[in-house]
Amino acid sequence: MARSKARRKRPRGTVEELLSGALRVKVYAGFDPVTKRRHYLRETVPAGPQAHREAEKVQTRLLNQVDEQRNPRTAATVNQLVTRYLDQYFDGEPSTRQQYRAYLKHHIAPFIGEVKVGSLDVDALDSLYAELRRCRDHCTGKRRKDHRTSGKHECDHRCGPHECKPLGATAIRHIHYLLSGAFKRAVRWKWVAVNPVSQAEPPASPPARPKPPSAEEAVQLLHEAWQDPDWGTLLWRAMTTGARRGELCALRWRDVDLAAAVLTLERAIAFDPEQKVWFEKGTKTHQHRRVALDDVSVEILTEHRDRCRARAESLGEALSGDGFVFSLSPDASTWLVPSSVTQRYERMATRLGIEATLHKLRHYSATELISSGVDVRTVAGRLGHGSGGMTTLRVYSAWVSEADQRASAALANRVPERPRQLSQTERAKTNPRNPYERLAARIREQILQGELTKGDELLPLKELAAEHGVSIGTAQRAIALLKEWGMVEVLQGRRTTVTADADPLATEDSDSTPTAEPAPQEPHESPRSAETGPTMLEFQVRHLGELVRTFSAEADPTNPDHLRRLLAAAVRRDGRDNFEIIDYELDVHRPGGEHLTTFVTIAP
pLDDT for the residue numbered 216: 86
**For the segment 285-329, what is each residue's pLDDT rounded down to a tens digit?**
677 788 888 888 899 999 999 999 998 888 888 888 788 999 988
CA 261 vs CA 42, 246, 311: distances in Å: 70, 22, 24
Interstrand relation of 584-589 and 488-489 (parallel, antiparallel or unpaired): unpaired
**How far is 534 from 326, CA to CA, in rounded Å?**
31
**3-class state of residue 374 by DSSP:** coil
pLDDT of residue 401: 47
What are the domain boundaries of the chain? 13-67, 78-141+163-199, 215-413, 424-498, 535-599
Whole-number pLDDT of residue 150? 79
Report whether 324 contacts 332 (CB < 8 A): yes
Q: How many CB atoms lie within 10 A of CB 104?
A: 21
- pLDDT value for 530: 41
Beta strands at 267-272 and 256-257: parallel, antiparallel or unpaired: unpaired
For 78-141+163-199, CATH gives: 1.10.150.130
Give dist(CA 128, CA 582) in Å, integer. 67
Strand partners, 270: 279
CA 106, 110, 113, 118: dihedral to nearest 10 degrees? -130
For residue 153, CA distances in Å to 147, 150, 156 come to 9, 8, 9
Return d(Cα 128, Cα 21) in angstroms, integer. 35
Cβ burial 512-528 (10 Å sphere, 16+ → b, else e):
bbeeeebbbbebeeeee
Dist CA 480 CA 447 (whole Å): 16
The CATH number given to 215-413 is 1.10.443.10
Q: Is 256 helix (H, G, I), strand (E, B) or coil?
A: strand
Backbone angles phi, psi at 500, to 5 degrees: -95, 150
CB 478 within 8 A of CB 439: yes
Say whether domain 424-498 belongs to CATH 3.40.630.30.
Answer: no
Task: Report the pLDDT value the prediction gives residue 413, as an integer from 0 to 100.
Answer: 58
CA distance 143 to 141: 7
Is 0.75 topped by the overall pTM? no
Dist. CA 586–CA 566, nearest whole Å: 9
- Low-confidence residues in the chain, pLDDT < 70: 1-10, 31-36, 66-73, 285, 370-373, 375-377, 381, 384, 386-422, 503-533, 603-604
Residue (of 163, 182, 194) closest to 83 by Cα position: 182
Q: To which H or E segment does residue 598 belong?
A: strand 595-599
Pairing of strands 23-31, 488-489: unpaired
**CA dist 341 to 348, 385, 515, Å?**
11, 23, 35
pLDDT score, position 403:
44
Residue type for 222, please?
A: L
- Of 340, 280, 48, 85, the closest CA to residue 197 belongs to 85
Query: How much is the pLDDT for 392?
Result: 67
Q: Which of 316, 255, 322 lies closest to 291 in space, CA to CA? A: 255
pLDDT in tens, 24-47: 888 777 766 666 677 777 888 898
Q: Tell which phi-psi region holds residue 141, choosing left (phi > 0), alpha (psi between -120 and 50) or beta.
A: left
Q: What is the pLDDT of residue 206?
A: 79
Identify whether the C-beta of residue 13 lies closer than 8 Å to the C-beta of residue 27: yes
Selection from 492, 415, 486, 445 nearest residue 212 by Cα: 415
